[in-house]
Amino acid sequence: MSEEFSQSVRIADQSLKLWELLQVRDITDQSLELWELLQVRDIADQSLKLWELLQVRVLRSIFEIVGALTSLSFTINLWNCGNSYKVRVLRSIFEIVGTLTNPKNPSQKLRIKSFLNF
């Protein structure tokens, strides 16, 4: 691996981590605003639904900003989500972006079906 490529990878990783931190801050702010609107008896049910929606939104934003993701970075982001949300998150993402293509080699396409069969 060349030094230039290695540095590019580190920069990309740092940018993604920064983006995730910004998302967490935004989500926290929004959650506090939403908290005021929820009645206590609804919190348990609503918070689970809210968490799923926020996970989909964060990953959707990452796709829009980063563009094509390597399989490694996609896997890392996927595992940051709760296990029970993975199928729902993946389906939501793929409904938006369709088939992902490797820009350096257009013949390589991410197989959606293989991700949905775990």
Tens digits of residue pLDDT in 16-46? 565 555 555 555 555 555 554 544 444 444 4
Please check whether residue 68 is in contact with residue 100, taking contact to mean a CB–CB distance below 8 angstroms. yes
Sign of the CA dihedral running 36, 40, 42, 48? positive
Measure the CA–CA gap between 101 and 32, rounded to whole angstroms. Answer: 38
Taking residues 97-106, what's their average pLDDT?
A: 49
In this prediction, residue 69 carries a pLDDT of 43
Measure the CA–CA gap between 48 and 116, rounded to whole angstroms. Answer: 22
Measure the CA–CA gap between 62 and 60, rounded to whole angstroms. Answer: 5
The verdict on pTM exceeding 0.75 is no
Assign 110 a pLDDT band (cuts: 50, 70, 90): very low
